[in-house]
Structure 1
Amino acid sequence: MHELGVVIEVVNTIEKIAIKQKLTKIDALVLQIGELSSMVPKYIEECYPAAVDGTILQDTKLKIEIIPGNAICKRCSKVFNIIENGKKCPNCGSDDLGLLSGKEFMIKEIIAY
């Protein structure tokens, strides 16, 4: 499970930002995870408490937004969800695709008061 290492790096990044911005209390952290990324949201949620223990993020809420795995068909220009359509264009059946989204893993927002 590589998610723990990734979450620890996120925590380190947030702590650096908190110091730079002089934040003393963070209420929530919002992460965006693409449904085609190698990160499993459930595992991120499970390892989050251990990763934030003893840090400025210890009492924060974790919110995860899933970014759909969308592609564009290079034959007919239809935009569609890869997972829902089995990697084939639902319009023309082509598998000649261009990935538009879904591999992301980003810190979207730090909610501090």
Structure 2
Amino acid sequence: MHELGVVIKVVKNVEDFARKNGVTNIETLVLQIGALASVIPRFVENCYPMAVKGTMLEDTRLKIEVLPANARCRACETVFNALKHKSVCPHCSGGNPEMISGNEFMIKEIVAC
């Protein structure tokens, strides 16, 4: 499970940001994870307590927002959910869409107390 290493890196980045900006108490950490990302939200949630133990984030709440895997049809420009429609445009049945979202993994928000 590579999620633990990824979350440890996120914790270090958040701690660095907090120190540089004078933040001493963080209530919530919000992550955005794309539906096609190589990081699995459930695994991130499971390893989060281990990753924050002994850090300034130890008492924080983790919130994860899963972003959809959106694609744009190259034929008709329709934007659609690629997973729901199995990468086939629901408007014109075109294949080979351009992926426009779904691979993200980012810190969206740090909520300080």
Q: What TM-score range do you get, normalising by the shorter chain?
A: over 0.9
Query: Residue 76 of structure 1 aligns to which amino acid in structure 2?
Result: C
Say which SS state the counterpart of residue 100 (structure 2) adopts: strand
Rounded Cα–Cα distance in structure 2 between residues aligned with 1:2 and 1:40: 10
Q: How much has 1:71 moved relative to structure 2?
A: 0.3
Aligned residue in 2 for 1:4? 4
Q: How much has 1:22 moved relative to structure 2?
A: 1.2
Query: In the TM superposition, what whole-angstrom CA distance separates every residue of 1:47-100 from its partner, at most 9, and x where no partner exists?
Result: 000000000000000000011000000001111000000111111111121111
Confirm whether residue 13 of structure 1 aligns to residue 13 of structure 2. Answer: yes
Gaps of 5+ in 1: none
Rounded Cα–Cα distance in structure 2 between residues aligned with 1:19 and 1:96: 45
Query: In the TM superposition, what whole-angstrom CA distance separates every residue of 1:28-61 from its partner, at most 9, and x where no partner exists?
Result: 0000000011110000000000000000000000
Q: How much has 1:23 moved relative to structure 2?
A: 1.1
Query: Residue 39 of structure 1 aligns to which amino acid in structure 2?
Result: V
Q: Which runs of 4+ in 1 moved over 2 A?
A: none
Gaps of 5+ in 2: none
Aligned residue in 2 for 1:91? 91
Rounded Cα–Cα distance in structure 1 between residues aligned with 2:81 and 2:97: 11
Aligned residue in 1 for 2:72? 72
Aligned length: 113
Identical pairs, percent: 53
Aligned residue in 1 for 2:105? 105
Rounded Cα–Cα distance in structure 2 between residues aligned with 1:38 and 1:24: 31
Rounded Cα–Cα distance in structure 2 between residues aligned with 1:77 and 1:17: 39
Rounded Cα–Cα distance in structure 1 between residues aligned with 2:73 and 2:96: 6
Query: Residue 95 of structure 1 aligns to which amino acid in structure 2?
Result: G
